[in-house]
Amino acid sequence: MSVFKTLGIAAGAAAIAASMVPASASDLTFWSWRQEDKSQYEKYITMFEKDHPDTHIKFKAYEADNYATILSTALAGDQGPDLMMVRAYGAFESVAGPGYLMDLDSKIPALDTFPKAAIKAETLRSDGKVYAVPFASQTMLVMYNKAVFKKNGIEPPKTWDDLMADCKKLKQAGIYPFANGTATAWQNETIVFALGSSIMGKGFYDDLQAGKATFEDPRFVEALAKLDAVKKYFPNGFTGIDYPSSQQLFASGMAGMFAGGSFEIANFKQQNPKLDIGVFPAPPEKTGKDALVSVFYDGGYAANAKTEHPKEALEFLKFLASKKFGQAFANGLGNVSPVPGVQFKSPLLSRIADLNTTSIPYVMLVDFRYEKPSGSVVLQQQIQKMMAGKATPKEVGAKLTKDLATYYKPFQNQ
């Protein structure tokens, strides 16, 4: 018995001793869901560590689909990282809301120069404070295959009628005008805004924000009707075509256009390096009206409220909000950084950054993904239904308004 006792005491003592040894000046952990960006992030960390030799940051990436669960479980159990990537909007609030994140209000001066919409993405609505440094915007637009367009003698459309004419030509030439399918639910939300933003218009978004319009508004319903009309230029059996299949249709050159997010570009290039991609905003009804894209912010960098190294963590966040990092981020990861003054090397990226200046927010994610049922859940299902010919644009608008009215006050009186 005494042998075990001794062993037990020895083991306990060793454990206590181990926990008392400081790990080194400051070792910080940094969690992310971007497994594919690991090597780039390690370069950025080296950049930072050059100026801060006493701070060591360890990057660890988790599988994207389970990241939210892993992160919030770790934070709830006090096992969270010092630094982390968090999502934006509703998903950001589920981490920031319980008080897990360090409040960054007026601690990082550079944030004052960021676009307002970027800051909003990482601000907790209940206290109006910002908790993360926004890192990238994504843009909903139409990507097209330049070679295919040239071969068929067509130009990026300026109006909706141009778009329909282009589609007709492509179809006659035996090419799928659009690569999009609706079998994967979230793709139904992207196509609404990639194609319909200009038909909805800025006025609709402002009225929606002000509580003066619902989704039954004729401008929104008209955008859905246009989408409903363009579906005849989607591939045969598009209701059964899932996201990977439609990506392949576009990357392989079998289709001329892909309505979706700017985040697709890197993947298309990877699948087919020869692919020459152009972009254009959702075409408006007629010339003279704004051609809009729709924009959202992907996420931000945040620090743990309970980190043992708050000073170092804040230093790192300041670095992530700097132009130096923003530039390296844009060049290395091919994303549109919200840091003001960043120059984009790639012409495509710089074109997207330009388009972002005439945009509306990606509505459902930005404003209606905080409560259940989220606007996205309802919209995705209803558009899937509409595209299958089982619901009219008007019914979709009514259903959206009715379901969101269960918690969204401005819809309740209308």
Partner 1 sequence: MFGMRITRRGLWIACLIVPPVLVLALFTVYPIVTALGYAFFDWNGAAQGDFVFLQNFRDVLFREPFATWTRNAFLHNIVVFAVLMVVQNGIGFLIAYALWRNLPGARFHRVAVFLPVVLSTIIVGFVWKLFFNPLFGLVNQTLRAIGLDMLAQPWLGQSSTALGALILVNAWHWIGFPSLIYLAGMQRIPGEIMDAARMDRDSELSILRRIVWPLIAPSATIVFILTFIGSFNWFELPYIMAGVDGSPYGSTDVLGLYFYRTAFGNQSAGTQDFGHGSALAVITFLFIAVVAGFWTVHLRKREIEL
Q: Give the residues lining the site for partner 1 (CB under 8 A).
A: 64-65, 68-69, 72-73, 75-76, 90-91, 93-95, 97-99, 181-186, 189, 235-242, 245, 249, 369-374, 376-378, 380-382, 384-385, 388, 390, 403, 406
Residue 372 C-beta: closest distance to partner 1, Å = 6
Cα 187 from chain centroid? 13
What is the spatial distance between Cα 252 and Cα 145, in angstroms, rounded to a whole number?
10
Neighbours of 151 (CB within 10 A): 13
CA-based R_g, the chain, Å = 24
What is the spatial distance between Cα 115 and Cα 118, in angstroms, rounded to a whole number?
5
Question: Is 195 or 241 the residue whose CB approaches partner 1 more closely?
Answer: 241
Question: What are the tokens at 138?
Answer: 């994504």
Residue 363 C-beta: closest distance to partner 1, Å = 14
Residue 69 C-beta: closest distance to partner 1, Å = 6
Strand partners, 277: 145
Residue 87 C-beta: closest distance to partner 1, Å = 8
Q: Are strands 137-145 and 277-280 parallel, antiparallel or unpaired?
A: antiparallel
- Write phi, then psi, for 235 (nearest 5 degrees): -60, 160
Question: Is 26 or 376 the residue whose CB approaches partner 1 more closely?
Answer: 376
Question: Is 197 or 384 the residue whose CB approaches partner 1 more closely?
Answer: 384
Question: Is 370 or 408 the residue whose CB approaches partner 1 more closely?
Answer: 370
CA angle 351, 380, 136 (to 5 degrees): 30
Question: What are the tokens at 356?
Answer: 């972002």
Residue 189 C-beta: closest distance to partner 1, Å = 8
Which residues, 6 or more positions from 387, have their beta carbon under 8 angstroms from its beta carbon?
Answer: 182, 188, 227, 228, 231, 234, 238, 239
Question: Is 55 or 374 the residue whose CB approaches partner 1 more closely?
Answer: 374
Which DSSP string do the residues of 9-46 spell out, in sequence order? HHHHHHHHHHHHS--SSEEEEEEES-GGGHHHHHHHHH
Neighbours of 79 (CB within 10 A): 8
Residue 400 C-beta: closest distance to partner 1, Å = 11
Amino acid letter at 127? D
Question: Is 271 or 346 the residue whose CB approaches partner 1 more closely?
Answer: 271
What is the spatial distance between Cα 122 and Cα 404, in angstroms, rounded to a whole number?
23
Residue 408 C-beta: closest distance to partner 1, Å = 13
What is the spatial distance between Cα 46 and Cα 42, in angstroms, rounded to a whole number?
6
Residue 364 C-beta: closest distance to partner 1, Å = 8
Question: Is 55 or 262 the residue whose CB approaches partner 1 more closely?
Answer: 262
Strand partners, 374: none
Residue 310 C-beta: closest distance to partner 1, Å = 21
What is the spatial distance between Cα 263 and Cα 159, in angstroms, rounded to a whole number?
24
Cα 36 from chain centroid? 16
Question: Is 332 or 370 the residue whose CB approaches partner 1 more closely?
Answer: 370
Strand partners, 176: 255
Neighbours of 159 (CB within 10 A): 17
Residue 70 C-beta: closest distance to partner 1, Å = 10
